[in-house]
Amino acid sequence: MDEQKFVSYNDEKLAANGKEPGMTDHKFGMFIHWGIYAVLGLHEQVLARYNYDKHAYEQLMDCFNPTSYNPEDWVLLAKHAGMKYICFTAKHHNGFCMWDTKYTDYKITNTPYQKDVLKELQLACRKHGMLFSIYYSNPDWHHADAYNPKSSHQWCAVKNPNTDFKRYKEYIKAQLTELLTNYGEIYTLFWDIPPQMQDESINALARKLQPDILINDRGFDTGDFSTSERDYDTAGFSGRFHEMTEACNAVGEQSWGYRKTEDYHSIRYLTHSIDKIMAFGGSYLLNIGPDAEGKIPEKARQSIENVGNWYNRVKHTLEFCQADTFDYGNMKYSCARTKKDNKTYFHFYDGMNASGVAIKQFPNIPQAVVFVNTGKSLPFCVEYMPEFLNPDDEKTKQMYLHIFDIPVDDYEKEPIIIEVTW
């Protein structure tokens, strides 16, 4: 694989591929959950969570006509936010297919819209240099053979005595062949809901069709990278994730698909979450749910734009960086450290309670210190800090690198990121 194919490698895998440990790119992407569930504006799993009548639900395809769908608008929103790839829900748990598949009539081209929205999005991505990824749900609440008692999310699956999961796996392979043959180069394959059964032939097929593809760990074998959802616990971490990692979250708290009364995450929450994951070497997918007309809700658009405003100012501290493993001693605030060339980036992803930070151990006197959020220089000195006392005689015997006058009150919505040039 070339360097532009990495989501997040651990050091061993990087070394095996002749790459410098910790060097990554294509870390920030857009996740898009879109399907006929948008017509109801409740939740992408409305069929299960609201116990919605299945016959009435499946008839929603007859009124799904997203005439305002503009894939270039979606792609450019992602690109302007600093995102490098888009992952789209080709088929969610409801089984409805958002491409012109030959293997079911339950698909977008049989709606009043008639067009292959997956193809249109893939072409827009290619036009604007955006990598394209595909999401595929293992549960399928429409297919007659998809019931799998070993897995979760089976509430609405078709259950009958003639169910044959082997036939369903052949259906998956047939659709996977379509998706990985007819839609250009695919960056990552995002399986959803582990089937709790092993069948390496399915991912093997994906790799045969797309040799450079990266596959997550929710399919029929371990895949290439782990996929965490919503918050990711990084307690006790130092340096990097130990495996390829892609976290995902949504701009909304309640739903991944379109919800009319959505509760939107604060910008502070999103930027702090993204910074934490990426500083530890992970990729991050931030999800939106377009409405039934194909438009991105205005609040969701504003979330992406506001996050992008922050990300574009700090992305050089997250992309193509290594972990800085120097022992700086304990700090008062949660901190992840990345480095590039002779610079260390201190990511205070949970914010700071004061306008300064004291670093107990440091390799040498800095040449310069910069507040990355603004690009402006910060004052610093090496001095005794009266807050830190020797427990034996209560005297300040330790000299600290003291960085101060950090405008924390002006940047409460963002992680504090400090660049030190050694």
In tens, the pLDDT along 197-230 reads: 999 999 999 999 999 999 999 999 999 998 988 7
Task: State the helix-helix crossing angle for 267-279 and 298-314, rounded to 10 degrees.
Answer: 40
DSSP 127-141: HTT-EEEEEEES--S
pLDDT tens track for 151-204: 999 999 999 888 999 999 999 999 999 999 999 999 999 999 999 999 999 999
Residue 330 contacts by C-beta under 8 Å, 6 or more apart in sequence? 360
Helix (H, G, I), strand (E, B) or coil at 319: coil
Going by C-alpha positions, the residue among 115, 110, 101 that lies closest to residue 69 is 115
- Helix (H), strand (E) at residue 420: strand 416-421
CA distance 323 to 318: 10
pLDDT tens track for 88-128: 999 999 999 999 999 999 999 999 999 999 999 999 999 99
Looking at residue 38, the DSSP 8-state letter turns out to be G
pLDDT tens track for 252-299: 999 999 999 999 999 999 999 999 999 999 999 999 999 999 999 999
pLDDT of residue 398: 84
Q: Give me the residue label for tokens 């600290």.
A: 400
Going by C-alpha positions, the residue among 291, 278, 179, 198 that lies closest to residue 232 is 278
CATH number 3.20.20.70 is the correct assignment for the domain at 3-317: no
**What CATH number should be reported for the domain whose range is 324-421?**
2.60.40.1180
DSSP 53-100: -HHHHHGGGGG---TT--HHHHHHHHHHTT--EEEEEEE-TT--BSS-
pLDDT of residue 2: 34
Say what the alpha-carbon torsion angle 224, 32, 71, 223 is, to the nearest 10 degrees. Answer: 10
Assign 238 a pLDDT band (cuts: 50, 70, 90). low
CA end-to-end span of the chain, whole Å? 33
For the chain, give every domain's residue range.
3-317, 324-421
pLDDT of residue 388: 72
